[in-house]
Structure 1
Amino acid sequence: MLILLSICLAAQPSQCKEDRISLSYEATNPFICLRTAQSALATWQETHPEWHVTRWRCATRESLPKDL
């Protein structure tokens, strides 16, 4: 599973991009991803303080969307 992020610079909110967090399991149940996403997002945010997460969602590797 992946957590797909839409992120913007805190200092320049108009400068945005997409990123992803790869989770260490390959479950296809979205509820498992939703349950673990909060801690994964908090860890990501701690290591990227200059970025602000504006949107996120869970996705399987096989069904990656073209955009968030």
Structure 2
Amino acid sequence: MELILSICLVASPGTCREEALSVSVEKLQVPMQCLMTAMPTIAEWSETHPKWKVLKWRCASPGVAGRDI
């Protein structure tokens, strides 16, 4: 399962893309586990990427993100 972040550069809000973060979960609890771990994961990612702003996020199957938006 992946946590898909829609992010934009703080200094250039028109420069946006998606970033996929892997979330390891058991198959039976995939949707709920992704939702439960999303906020702490996003906060940690944001701290290490101060030039980017997270606009929205979603949980998805692996391989569906990574494109410019």
| Aligned position for 1:16 | 16
**What SS does the aligned partner of 1:29 have?**
helix
Give the drift of 1:32: 1.2
Q: Aligned partners of 2:43 and 2:11: how far apart in 1?
A: 19
Q: How many residues align?
A: 66
Give structure 1 regions of 4+ aligned residues with deviation exceeding 6 angstroms.
none
Q: Provide structure 2 residue ranges, at least 5 long, that are not aligned to the other structure.
A: none
Q: Aligned partners of 2:50 and 2:15: how far apart in 1?
A: 15
Matches within 5 A, 1:1-68: 1-27=1-27, 29-61=30-62, 64=64
Give the drift of 1:60: 2.3
Contact kept, 8 Å, 2:5 with 2:58, in 1: the verdict is: yes
One-letter code aligned to 1:57: R
TM-score (ref. length: structure 2): 0.80
**What SS does the aligned partner of 2:13 have?**
coil
Q: Provide structure 1 residue ranges, at least 5 long, that are not aligned to the other structure.
A: none
Identity %: 45
